[in-house]
Structure 1
């Protein structure tokens, strides 16, 4: 059984501190630090003990060595926990800050012992009656070790890791220096190790070495009887001294009854038990290290995801700021062409002038406006409710059912009046952005796209005052042909295509920010008129923006007018052999976009 009890009936005299040192003629041993330096550590441990034990009347005395000889002990009558400062080795007092939550991770063994003593302070509240048999009390204290840890684990399951560490710190000294010999020693080891297994502190696989050795020494029947006793003790109430001592009496009776039939214990039983416990502790250490590695990996993964989210939010904010700056520079009131950095482009403006819209373009705008209004129309929604009283339409069947319920003396539940509420569904506005490639290979698109931009802008303005459209011509630089205002352009803006490089990525950013193409709630459409003969870098930048828009629910249409055109992945391709059909194709795509809006 245990040589040290972690619940002490009373404090020893101060002279016991001096008696611990053997006078062998050598100078008295000097602690590495002054005991007074540990007073602050003890006070901070006492503050943390409030949460561990649920009690506010406890104090912790921390100093090198203890009066009881155990690493720590709890004195119920003094409401005091005695704590050996050497558990913090190699840390010095100024390096230990228990008041800081999380500092205990630097000294898990010491913290585990404190958690064990907190379990005693919370649950070892039964008192030894006067005249009790010392052997029975000894057995009760032995059973108490795993009982209080199991009870503490129910209250604070996250302390299991520290209770496992405390088992490595507290149990091995008790095994190596037993107060009983023979099979009683084996029974005590079983109570300390296998009792913690059944309390949920240790795993069954970890304690297999001790279980096999105890079964060989005690026999399967006696071990099963002892297992039943400590399992029953785990269910004992904290204040029930009678039941706890009854279990202890059963323990002693079981040992006395089985003693004549047990074979002699091995001469080296202490060494065998110490070896088995060492195997258990090594297995525990390996499992704890594996669990710690797994938790560290999981924490690292969570931290990596958190950093990725933070970085992604920062990148999104950066993209929004850049898109806002691009949109502000492109949709400038002067109508100038801007370079990717937002400054006026030195290469000139592709706009060649403006003209009055033709009669055919005006008719096309009117037809598109009617089509958009028809596509945006939403049926009124109906909501029907019933009630026991007017207003509403009377349902005679429900009225008769209500009268029958009332006549039968039951509480009427029928609701004979039906009220229908009709609500108009909001008409979604339209957002259409057109990006037209003005490199030299796209000259055939200039006239049709200029006409389409005017037609779509005027049709959207006639459909809904909140609808907006915009058109950007891009090569290396960007030029706004129509702007995202609520007023439709009065004249058609004509342009030519003599550019070289392509900057579709910035054009999409400007249209996205100016028209809110990434925001749900409107009919959103991006039309890209291009042959997509780009460099790999230009294509990558464009595809990144296109994927972001399609993910947000914006329809993206690519119009191609030449046979050697390439398809931009993520867009809906539409090849037009006759460039003059581009306005009709864009109008149909806009109508489909607003029809799909919910």
Structure 2
């Protein structure tokens, strides 16, 4: 039987070494207490052990266990639990290659960085919580004791997973540490050792720790050694052990005795001596394949988990950025649409410099402009129209339209004495689908390159705003002009009575801030309305200006807002994500804008 099955749970403290005996005799003779010189990282390991002791109650439900991190464990195993001392020790090597200064078990989630060490710790915590019995001293060292401790390994983990199923992957990560080291190329391929491999690996499969595909190779190897009937009998024994209570030591000893009898071993004698001429290394090779499969699956699982966490983090960051952007957009809208229509200049204010308003006056709309606004309003209403919702229902009784095939089927079901299930009556109900209101935001470029189009764009802006107001009482529009500053032309929710005139001679392009003001001012990013953003510009921006504006346009498109780009220049440079309308004749702008706006709006969802 592998030695580690007896090293994990130490019912008696390990024997003192010669150095420990000498130290004890020295202290008995009156010498000062010997304190070994601390290692270079001794303080860090004391801190780590204390933090693990603080986490142990959540794993084992016990607060009386002392945890130590040893350079060489007293038991010789990577980790061990001493019931009589209420002590748990773990080998520092399990944390390699991490620097002890970076290890912080007190922080929940830090254990993800050292799953093997935490898996060994979890295994010992399972013993601390559930191994509440011990082999009587006269029977220790016998085959019965070895079999009992073997069965206790998977039983304790099975009981632990019933309380904490989330610890499964840590126990899986520690399989190499807990099992493989005790099966080497010199391990004989005999019945007793094959049964031990089954009790340590296949029993963990049945306990829900390992997967069947991971243990298939080992199961085939052990079947070839023991035979399917004997292996099935052993599986029944460890399954019965899994159902045994924590304090029921007598039943565990009975299971151990049945184990010995199944393998033809004397329970009261030491473990059977292997045949020195037998095959060796076969079990170690098969268990190595199990460990490799578990490692590969855990690596893939960890990678998938990392991708999910990265996606979750990205969503949180995007949501936080979206909230921050919405907050900033609201502040921008307050400044742009503040009473007085003073230009708002983004960025840090420069002393002595104030934004120049492009507004030069206003005039009454012409008859042609009024007619164009009415025509555009009708076109926008048609584009926003939604078909009635049609619902077809079937029933066993009127009202509705009779389906004779279903009626005959229902009569046949009744005649046969069966429960009628046919539904011969069909009813079609048409419900109106309310036409949503409109939200139209208009951003006009008044930089120097747009001077030739200032008149037609002013006319088009009034027509669009007026048409939106005529479509529905709940419809709203807003218009801003932008160069380096952003100036409100039409405030949100106000139908323009006069055509605002402006000149185009500014510098720079604050389109991003203009879009923020329109988005927050009339809720262009909020579903529930037909939403349209119209940008009139030639697109001659600096790279940073274009990138910031394109980001806003992409976000609006993602919410279902249509974006129309009006270009009066022979060589327009529209930003991506927009529906481009190039107007070679500014005098024909109104009609062309109406057609493009209705087409863009019809393809979006409110």
Q: Give yes or no for contact 1:429–1:467 (8 Å, CA) kept in 2.
A: yes
Describe the shift of the 1:68–1:234 C-alpha distance in structure 2 as closer, same or farther (beyond 3 A).
same
Describe the shift of the 1:45–1:233 C-alpha distance in structure 2 as closer, same or farther (beyond 3 A).
farther
Moved more, 133-142 or 65-74: 65-74
Structure 1 equivalent of residue 338 of structure 2: 332
1:312-335 superposed Cα distances (whole Å, 9 cap, x missing partner): 333222222222222222223323
Match of 1:158 among 138, 159, 167: 167
* Pairs within 5 Å for 1:58-457: 83-87=86-90, 108=118, 111-112=121-122, 114-115=124-125, 117=127, 121=131, 137-138=144-145, 140-141=147-148, 144-145=151-152, 148=155, 151-152=158-159, 155=162, 156=165, 158-159=167-168, 161-162=170-171, 165=174, 168=177, 189-193=193-197, 195-199=199-203, 200=205, 221=225, 230-231=234-235, 233-236=237-240, 238=243, 245-252=257-264, 264=276, 304-341=310-347, 346-392=354-400, 398=406, 401-457=409-465
- Count of matched residue pairs: 548
Describe the shift of the 1:43–1:249 C-alpha distance in structure 2 as closer, same or farther (beyond 3 A).
same
Structure 1 equivalent of residue 590 of structure 2: 583
Separation in 1, partners of 2:503, 2:549: 22
Separation in 1, partners of 2:224, 2:418: 67
1:279-326 superposed Cα distances (whole Å, 9 cap, x missing partner): 999999999999998887777666555544443333222222222222
1:30-78 superposed Cα distances (whole Å, 9 cap, x missing partner): 8979xxxxxx999989955666xxxxxx99776999999998679xxxx
Q: Give yes or no for contact 1:42–1:61 (8 Å, CA) kept in 2.
A: no
Describe the shift of the 1:281–1:324 C-alpha distance in structure 2 as closer, same or farther (beyond 3 A).
same
Q: Give yes or no for contact 1:345–1:477 (8 Å, CA) kept in 2.
A: no
Q: CA shift at 1:561, angstroms?
A: 1.8
Separation in 1, partners of 2:22, 2:75: 24
Structure 2 equivalent of residue 473 of structure 1: 481
Describe the shift of the 1:493–1:150 C-alpha distance in structure 2 as closer, same or farther (beyond 3 A).
closer
1:493-547 superposed Cα distances (whole Å, 9 cap, x missing partner): 1112222222222222222222222223332222222222222222222222222
Separation in 1, partners of 2:509, 2:107: 59
Q: CA shift at 1:161, angstroms?
A: 3.6
Separation in 2, partners of 1:18, 1:538: 74
1:448-507 superposed Cα distances (whole Å, 9 cap, x missing partner): 12221222222222221122222222221222222221x421111111222222222222
**Structure 1 gap segments, 5+ residues each:** 34-39, 52-57, 75-79, 176-181
Separation in 2, partners of 1:339, 1:59: 63
- Correspondence 1:537 to 2:544: yes
Separation in 1, partners of 2:272, 2:127: 37
Q: Give yes or no for contact 2:7–2:80 (8 Å, CA) kept in 1.
A: no
Moved more, 459-468 or 132-141: 132-141
Q: Give yes or no for contact 1:458–1:488 (8 Å, CA) kept in 2.
A: yes
Q: CA shift at 1:374, angstroms?
A: 3.0
Q: CA shift at 1:582, angstroms?
A: 1.2
Structure 1 equivalent of residue 523 of structure 2: 516
- Correspondence 1:552 to 2:559: yes
1:434-460 superposed Cα distances (whole Å, 9 cap, x missing partner): 222222232221221222122222222
Structure 2 equivalent of residue 178 of structure 1: none
Describe the shift of the 1:509–1:205 C-alpha distance in structure 2 as closer, same or farther (beyond 3 A).
closer
**Structure 2 gap segments, 5+ residues each:** 26-32, 37-49, 96-102, 245-250
Q: Give yes or no for contact 2:333–2:521 (8 Å, CA) kept in 1.
A: yes
TM-score by length of 1: 0.70
Q: Give yes or no for contact 1:153–1:160 (8 Å, CA) kept in 2.
A: no
Separation in 1, partners of 2:388, 2:211: 65
Rg larger in 1 or in 2?
A: 1
Q: CA shift at 1:145, angstroms?
A: 4.8
* Pairs within 5 Å for 1:22-41: 26-28=22-24
Q: CA shift at 1:111, angstroms?
A: 2.4
CA RMSD of aligned residues (A): 5.7
Separation in 1, partners of 2:592, 2:329: 28
Describe the shift of the 1:45–1:251 C-alpha distance in structure 2 as closer, same or farther (beyond 3 A).
farther
TM-score by length of 2: 0.69
Q: CA shift at 1:580, angstroms?
A: 0.8
Moved more, 493-502 or 388-397: 388-397
- SS at the partner of 1:412? coil
